[in-house]
Amino acid sequence: MSSKLEQLRQLSVVVADTGDLGAISRFRPRDCTTNPSLILKAAQQPESAGLVRDVIEQAAQAGDTTEVILDRLAVRFGVELTRLVPGDVSTEVDAMLSFDTDAMIDKARFLISLYQQQGVGKERILIKLAATWEGIRAAEVLEREGIRCNLTLVFGLEQAVACAQAGAFLISPFVGRITDWYKKTEGRESYPVDEDPGVQSVKRIYRHFKEQGYQTVVMGASFRSAAQVEALAGCDRLTVSPALLAELDQDQGVLERQLMPEGTASAKQEAITEAVFHWALVENQMAGEKLIEGLRLFHRDYLALKQDVQGKLELLSHSGVVTR
């Protein structure tokens, strides 16, 4: 019998949640997703040292700011990933811009221009934006320009629906972070997978989208266990860490479909207004808290990557390779 990973490929698009080039080669996902945390981790791996050095040297010699160097680094990793996977690669906009629609639009356009300079068309790239109200509005503009968006840090149904109504290509509803919140709040060590709050949230979003006929792709994300992944088999896409991909690859058990692509048509939902959107995040304490926490953690890792790049710039400057 084939592994659960191979069975999963028949039910959902398997996406690797990593910037690790070696892991991509090993598990052969169709797509890849990255974020500042993953780029930071990948940039510190020995096999990526040459890539990071090349980007920093070239950008520094051109007089780029540290922020632009970070953009070039993210794009360079993305370019390498497009050579390893046949599908989409997601590149994330700095979380600190998540409440500035115009800034997110400008950054997305800039990232796409960097990809195009490297010979990668926008049809291969998804721009990751946080699913704030401003991020959703930015995605609405970008989608009209043919720049597809991945709305991330989705924790509630209203967030998801607002993304779909704005025409976002894809959303990333989180599983593990939701479960983490409920475990801490309720004092639980674990949940049976069929009662797992994170799993149930993604199932609810997926079924609602099918009932409403939304074309936005649902990609489950932020998994803590292989059991959570298996519980969402059949979801449009699932983005999974290398460790869990390895676990699924080694499991020869039977994997059954849990989600069906068809849905029973229901009355069309009214448009989510800004007031409804924000109040939903107030009423859903978990969603409101995890959205803000996610933004804070992503920006923290962005700053850590920035500090790492600045340190490398100083070393290059002292060695005379570049002048600042």
- Residues 241-296 have pLDDT tens digits of 999 999 999 999 999 999 998 877 778 889 999 999 999 999 999 999 999 999 99
**Is the predicted pLDDT of residue 196 greater than 60, yes or no?**
yes
Task: Identify which has the larger pLDDT, 308 or 238.
Answer: 238
Supply the CATH number for residue 100's domain: 3.20.20.70
**Is the predicted pLDDT of residue 12 greater than 60, yes or no?**
yes
- pLDDT bin (cut points 50, 70, 90) of residue 322 is low
pLDDT (0 to 100) of residue 324: 46
Q: Does some domain include residue 158?
A: yes
Active site residue 128: yes
Q: CB of 120 within 8 A of CB of 79?
A: yes
List pLDDT tens digits, range 121-141: 999 999 999 999 999 999 999
Q: Does some domain include residue 76?
A: yes
CA gap 305, 298 in Å, rounded:
11
pLDDT (0 to 100) of residue 45: 83
Q: Does some domain include residue 324?
A: no
List pLDDT tens digits, range 60-89: 888 899 999 999 999 999 999 999 999 999
Structural domain of 99: 4-319
Q: Does some domain include residue 119?
A: yes
CA gap 124, 78 in Å, rounded:
10
Q: Does some domain include residue 138?
A: yes
Q: Does some domain include residue 152?
A: yes
- Token readout for 271 is 């448009």
**Is the predicted pLDDT of residue 203 greater than 80, yes or no?**
yes
Sign of CA dihedral 25, 27, 29, 31: negative
User: DSSP per residue over 69-94, as a string?
Assistant: HHHHHHHHHHHHHHTT-SS-EEEEPP
**Is the predicted pLDDT of residue 117 greater than 80, yes or no?**
yes
Q: Does some domain include residue 251?
A: yes
At a CB cut-off of 8 Å and minimum separation 6, what does 279 contact? none
Domain count, the chain: 1
Enclosing H/E stretch for 33:
strand 31-33
Q: Residue 194 carries which side chain, given as an amino acid letter?
A: D
122, 128, 203, 290: the catalytic one is: 128
CA gap 1, 185 in Å, rounded:
41
- pLDDT bin (cut points 50, 70, 90) of residue 56 is confident
